[in-house]
Amino acid sequence: EVQLVESGGGLVQPGGSLRLSCVVSGVTFTTKWMSWVRQAPGKGLEWVVHVSPDGSETKYVDSAKGRFIISRDNAKSSFYVQMNSLRVEDTAVYYCVEWGQFDNYWGQGTLVTVSS
Amino acid sequence: DVVMTQSPLSLPVTLGQPASISCRSSQSLVYTDGNIFLHWFQQRPGQSPRRLIYQVSNRDSGVPDRFSGSGSGTDFTLKISRVEAEDVGVYYCMQYRHWPHTFGQGTKLEIK
């Protein structure tokens, strides 16, 4: 069974930082592109960042550039996003997403709330 | 950024009747090798999204055959041949031909 388990969400003040983690099991993690996709309360989906299987290629949506840093540890089948200088508009459920050629899996999401 | 425009945004359907959702992209989604980088997702109430269709018309494993996708270039369609109660939710198209990858606004399907 494939599982993606996110953690690290919570309440943080504007300007603060959080680190989200995702542990993946049931797939060959080292061959998968991984992404964080977020969903603001009552809103649609927004792709935030993704990382290649070996970690050499990363892409960020403009609003995350310079503030978010994605990384992965293939030995631990885990990947992360360090989120700095958080803004109220970053409030969302953050989903960890695995992209295979013929499969696609989402975690249950972790809620990040940026509020004073 | 590539804008993905879905219509309708709200779709009330009678059980057993067909449903159709349109998705239009502001740029072509055709890659140099001819593949078209367009997915469809379903998000049931309170659940994470689930991919239904990849590369325009290929059903993901476990997806009922009442779901089908079609289209080319910039115009795409998701069809449900006979809507069932479990199909209630929001449907999104997504392009991954251009960065940043972008989603449509979502179409909320409800039972009349």
Which chain A residue lies closest to B54 (C-alpha atoms)? A102
pLDDT tens digits, B30-81: 999 999 999 999 999 999 999 999 999 999 999 999 999 999 989 999 999 9
Query: Does any CB of chain B come closer than 8 Å to the CB of residue A1?
Result: no
Q: Measured between CB atoms, does A57 come within 8 Å of chain B?
A: no
Looking at residue A2, what is its pLDDT?
93
- According to DSSP, the residues that pair with A35 across neighbouring strands are A50, A97
Q: What is the mean pLDDT of chain A?
A: 96
CA A74: distance to chain centroid? 15
Q: A103 or B44: whose pLDDT is higher? A: B44
A31: contact with B, CB 8 A cutoff:
no
B contacts of A47 (beta carbons < 8 Å): 94, 100-103
Residue B15 pLDDT? 98
Question: B interface mutation test: which of A96, A104, A108, A111 has the most B CBs within 10 A?
Answer: A104
CA-nearest of A57, A31, A55, A49 to A92 is A49
Rounded Cα–Cα distance for residues B1 and A73 (Å): 30
Alpha-carbon span B35 to B107, nearest angstrom:
25
Task: Please answer whether residues A38 and A20 qualify as being in contact, where contact means their C-beta atoms are separated by less than 8 angstroms.
Answer: no
Q: Average pLDDT over chain B, rounded to whole?
A: 97
The radius of gyration computed from the CA coordinates of chain A, to the nearest angstrom, equals: 13
Q: What is the pLDDT of residues A29-52, one digit of tens each?
A: 999 999 999 999 999 999 999 999
Answer for the pair A78, A23: CB distance below 8 angstroms, yes or no: yes
d(CA B19, CA B92): 14
**Looking up tokens 């935030």, which residue turns up?**
A48
Q: How far is B95 from chain A (nearest CA, A)?
A: 11
Mean pLDDT of B82-105: 97
**More confident of the two residues A100 and B109:** B109
Among candidate residues A2, A90, A26, the one with its CA nearest the CA of residue B48: A2
Burial of A91 (0-12, 13-18, 19+ CB in 10 A): middle
Q: How confident is the model at residue A102 (pLDDT cuts 50, 70, 90)?
A: confident
pLDDT in tens, B7-26: 999 999 999 999 999 999 99
Characterize A56-89 residue by residue with b for buried, 16 or more Cβ atoms within 10 angstroms of its Cβ, and e for exposed. eeebbbeebeeebebebeeeebbbbbebeebeee
